Amino acid sequence: MIICISGLTGCGKNTVGRLVANKLKLRMVEPTFKSIAAKQGISLMEFQKQAEEKHSIDKQFDAALLAEVGSGNCVVTTWLGSWVVKNADLKVWLYATPKARAARIAKRDGMKEGEAFAHVFERDNGNRKRYLDVYGIDIFDHSQFDLVINTEKNKPEDSAKLIIGAAREKPSGKKVKAKNFGRNFSALELANSNTIKKAAKKKSKLKRK
């Protein structure tokens, strides 16, 4: 079985994915731009800027992902996994408001709250534009997903249980009935919230000083 878990930055993809993988005894496939950037000795956002200019970076990243997924029986936790892994048995979208995601990132990465808000805004919108340019994929369109889970209302363990339950309900290769757990904040609503915009402007002003 192949389970793909996708979502915007700070939604909890890797945390929930590892819980699912451990319970179902599946491999974790979780390559990230962040780890590649670290190996190159540059920041995540520097590497993302490079990807905006060189579409080959995303294509090479996803080709390597598909090669790793090829042997099956895994949980994939990348932004585009649910789109590029065509033979996934279960596709899950995790979401939370920008405020919640920024708070998680601030705690995880030691950022100030305003900096984390700006980071969320920049990554969400930058990645959306890049994926549209490279693949014609709109990460704000979640119509293809089997499960949509609000990770503000559901703790990681509860989100994992919902995914595990859906995985066990269906034989491999059969479509599960789409389910939505919690209010589905539209991605446009999330990415364009006034709070995020203000934080991004504040960060821009600080850079100019």
What is the pLDDT at residue 42? 78
Instruction: Report helix, strand or coil for 180.
Output: strand
Instruction: Report helix, strand or coil for 47.
Output: helix
What is the pLDDT at residue 194? 44
Structural domain count, the chain: 1
Q: What pLDDT, in 10s, does the model give residues 160-195?
A: 999 999 999 876 555 555 666 764 444 443 444 444
Q: What pLDDT, in 10s, does the model give residues 1-28?
A: 999 999 999 999 999 999 999 999 999 9
Residue 184, domain CATH: 3.40.50.300
Which helix (H) or strand (E) segment holds residue 158: the answer is helix 156-169
The per-residue pLDDT of the chain, averaged, comes to: 83
Indicate the Cα dihedral angle 92, 93, 95, 101, nearest 10°: 90
Cβ distance 119 to 191 under 8 Å? Answer: no
Q: What percent of the chain has pLDDT over 70?
A: 82
Say yes or no to pLDDT of 34 above 90.
no
Domain with 102, as residue range(s), is 2-208
